[in-house]
Amino acid sequence: MNQGLPLPKYHQIYLLLCEQLQEGRFEAGLPGELALMQQFSVARVTVRRALAQMAQEGLIQREPGRGTRPITPAALGRASRLDNAGKSTSGKPARLTGLLENLVTMGLRTSVKVLTVQRLKAPPDVAQHLQLEPAEWVQKAQRVRSTREGPLSHITTWVPEDLAQYFGRRELAQKPILLLLEEAGVKVGRAEQTISARLADNTMAMHLDVHVGSALLAVRRLVFDAQDRPVQWLQGLYRPDRYEYQMQLSPVGGIDAQIWVSKELSANFH
């Protein structure tokens, strides 16, 4: 666990398990107390307190001799609350002017390791984002991008099969995916993006070389083509010590009702 976080260990475990529950990892049931003790290197009382908080909120049900299982309706409700907590209140899509160029430049100035490339039927949430039928095929790719200082981000992308057929593992290791989409004939139009925070679980801690429980920037980005068709759904986790967003803001309205609007969004890494 991350000793530098101002959170008790049990609460760090609680947050991580809630995120994993949201991702659907526990359909067959949660790991037992002993497995969680070994995973997080904590005492049984710490694990029990985290599970007790989840049970109190109606996320899981604990039955002696039968293990711990998620309660689907409540879990979905909790997942929705976690999901909406990081969403922008404006609901406006991110501007691609400057952002697209910045993303491509970052791709060209960093190295990438392709972890997996799979062809599979779109899971329900991915199909919803890409406006596909659940039975349609997509390409799922997972990559770790690094700078000279070390790992920067873990990226998972989903692309409709009719576009992904033009590139695979070799191409994904050589070029940013937005360039590959353009080479496949896609004219990128706009993107909707959400930035929030996540805690690193043991898998992300290993990939990004951070402690379990470390804070990460969580980016979700849906890219559309010029005809407003979704062409890429991206979920990224970034190290905040190596990656940051900068926005230029301008005042709009009178002094008694002044608001700030963004003119440009850029991403910097170091």
User: What pLDDT is attached to residue 179?
Assistant: 81
What span, in angstroms and rounded, lies between the C-alpha atoms of 204 and 194? 20
User: What pLDDT is attached to residue 220?
Assistant: 92
- Quickly list H helices, 110-201: 124-130, 161-164, 169-174, 177-183
Residue 141: enclosing H or E segment and its boundaries?
Answer: strand 137-147
What span, in angstroms and rounded, lies between the C-alpha atoms of 226 and 187? 6
How many CB atoms lie under 10 A from the CB of residue 97? 11
Count of residues in the chain? 270
User: What pLDDT is attached to residue 139?
Assistant: 96
Q: Domains of the chain: which residue ranges?
A: 9-85, 99-269
CATH number 3.90.1150.10 is the correct assignment for the domain at 9-85: no
Angle between helices 72-85 and 9-22 (to 10 degrees): 100
User: What pLDDT is attached to residue 248?
Assistant: 65
Flag the least confident range among 74-83, 117-126, 170-179: 74-83
Question: CB-side exposure of 210: number of CA atoms within 13 Å?
Answer: 27
Architecture of the domain defined by 99-269: 3-Layer(aba) Sandwich (3.40)
Measured CA to CA in angstroms, residue 176 lies from 1, 54, 69 at distances of 33, 40, 40
pLDDT band of 96, cuts 50, 70, 90: very low
Measured CA to CA in angstroms, residue 85 lies from 13, 78, 200, 240 at distances of 19, 11, 18, 19
User: What pLDDT is attached to residue 29?
Assistant: 85
Q: Residues 70, 26: contact at Cβ < 8 Å?
A: yes
Tokens of 21: 């529950």
The pTM for the full model equals 0.63
- Of 100, 104, 214, the closest CA to residue 151 belongs to 214
What pairing do the DSSP bridges indicate for beta strands 259-269 and 67-70?
Answer: unpaired
Flag the least confident range among 17-21, 185-189, 198-202, 236-240: 17-21
